[in-house]
Structure 1
Amino acid sequence: MIVSEIFRSLQGEGKNQGRPCTFIRLAGCNLRCAWCDTPYARKGGKEMSVAQILDLIWLQNGKHICITGGEPLLWAEEVLELLRKFDIHGYNVEIETNGTLDFREMQAYASICMDVKCPSSGEKSNLALLRHITPRDSVKFVVADENDLLYARAVMAHYEIQGEVFISPVEGADYRAIAEYIVEEDLPVRFQVQLHKILGVK
């Protein structure tokens, strides 16, 4: 598989926000979101085997892993092999996915964070996958404006989402207006800004 980067940082978003984490960012993506903040991950990286990745991870401190992208499920077979190895060794793993590819096979070994694409992204997720989100998993809507919020609200009304739901503003959006909308409409979500952007780290 092609690896864009492997690094240690704090988890900047989602249910594990603020926790130390080792990130495995895989290259390639099947979407082209208008506000993508890791466009470099769409392109090249270093070809690495599962064994080579594991050798690097064993040298890192900590037991929390985030497999992200790009879109990591483009490498589903290799990711599943990684997950099985991590499971044996007691790692806690989460997968960040754009909600276009079936993640069910991964759920025995990792929690899923499904990023549901809103209109401002210019892309669409497969909303049918929301039926497979469990209480262990989570869903994220990255929003830029009221139109995105209305879309997120409509999706939540249509699908009974079992995992925690996050609303995360696009960098540069009106954070206060988004927060006020959530409060006024009493949306069943947690408002969350990207911690890593505030800290200026990956």
Structure 2
Amino acid sequence: MLASNLQVKLPIHETFQCTVQGEGYWTGTLVDFIRLAGCPVRCPWCDTGYANGGKDLPSVPQSIAQLLAQLQSPRVVITGGEPFIHPNLPKLVAALLQADKQVSIETSGAYWQDVSPQAWITLSPKEHINPQYPVQEHFWKKANEIKLVVSTGEEVDFYKKYFIEGIKVPVFLQPEWESRERAIPIILELLKQHPSYRLSLQTHKFIGVQ
């Protein structure tokens, strides 16, 4: 890693350390989070404040060196917002890997950049919510897991042509938090139709951690 890359800055909404991953494949593992600012997709139920694109949310530029100095856990989750809108994402990923950290990136898949294949990519597509942001084809091949946020159950049918047939990575169905009482029974029925899929609950919210 070039020393100059350590001075590269990214817009940071927040970071937090030594929490647990609450969703998907790595649920229950100790992680740090780096939340990059900004997302154009505008999911109406966004639980991190980006329903309006995050225009009113705080954003502080931090260098890669500053971010590295904060790390405490073996795995670092880069999330947002939408991490792939940031041109310096590949440099951040490379620096984390060089620091001997495991790296996960959570994305809607609407934007693509080449990042290290060592990074674990969680694809949570939102094309059914906003057709202006379709999943880039690369992600269907590069994703290590797929996480669908389910409100009505129609989400599975929407993406059927992409991944139901012959999918080789784990698929997680996660109830949208505000409608979880309705969505969980829907997901249980979907699991009967697709027994290789898994239920993902937002464990961190149930146990009251960030």
Query: TM-score of the superposition, structure 2-length normalised?
Result: 0.82
Instruction: Specify whether residues 179 and 157 from structure 1 end up closer, same or farther in structure 2 by C-alpha distance, changes over 3 A only.
Output: closer
Once the two structures are superposed, residues 62-118 of structure 1 have per-residue CA deviations (whole angstroms, 9 ceiling, x without a partner) of: 2110000001112232x2222222222221110001110114x21423110011126
2:93 corresponds to: 83
Alpha-carbon distance in structure 2 between the residues aligned to 1:130 and 1:53: 26
Work out whether residues 11 and 18 of structure 1, in 8 Å CA contact, stay in contact via their aligned partners in 2.
Answer: yes
Indicate the residue corresponding to 1:68 in structure 2.
Answer: 79
Question: Per-residue displacement from partner, 1:15-38 (whole Å, max 9, x unpaired)?
Answer: 111111000001011210011110
In structure 1, the partner of 2:196 is 188
Partner of 2:170 in structure 1?
164
2:61 is aligned with 1:54 = no
Paired with 1:31 and 1:82, the residues of 2 have a C-alpha distance of 22
The answer as to 2:154 corresponding to 1:147 is yes
RMSD: 2.1
Structure 1 residue aligned with 2:7: none
Unaligned ranges ≥5, structure 2: 1-9
1:85 to 1:190, Cα distance in 2 relative to 1, 3 A: same
CA distance in 2, matches of 1:114, 1:176: 20
Deviation string for 1:132-186 (max 9, x for gaps)?
A: 225xx1111111013223224444236x443211111101232442233223313
Q: Following the alignment from structure 1 to structure 2, what is the Cα–Cα distance between the partners of residues 127 and 178?
A: 28
Other structure's SS at 1:168 match? strand
Looking at structure 2, the residues matched to 131 and 149 of structure 1 have their Cα atoms a distance apart, in angstroms, of 15
Partner of 2:48: 38
Equivalent residues of 1:4, 1:46 under 8 A apart:
yes
For structure 1, list consecutive stretches of 5 or more residues without a partner in the other structure: none
Partner Cα separation in structure 1 for residue 145 and residue 116 of structure 2? 12
The question of whether the paired residues in 2 share the 8 Å contact of 1:83 and 1:109 is answered with: no
Which moved further from structure 2: 166-175 or 179-188?
179-188
- TM-score, normalised with respect to structure 1: 0.85
Deviation at 1:10, TM superposition (A): 0.7
Moved over 6 A (4+): none
1:201 to 191, 195, 209: 209
Return the offset for 1:187. Answer: 4.6
CA distance in structure 2 between the partners assigned to 1:65 and 1:176 by the alignment: 29
Counterpart Cα distance in 2 of 1:80 and 1:180: 37
Structure 2 residue aligned with 1:21: 31
Contact 1:3 1:24 in 2 (8 A): yes
Structure 2: which amino acid aligns with 1:67? I
Q: From 135, 151, 157, give the equivalent of 1:126.
A: 135
Q: Contact 1:143–1:167 at 8 Å: present in 2 too?
A: yes
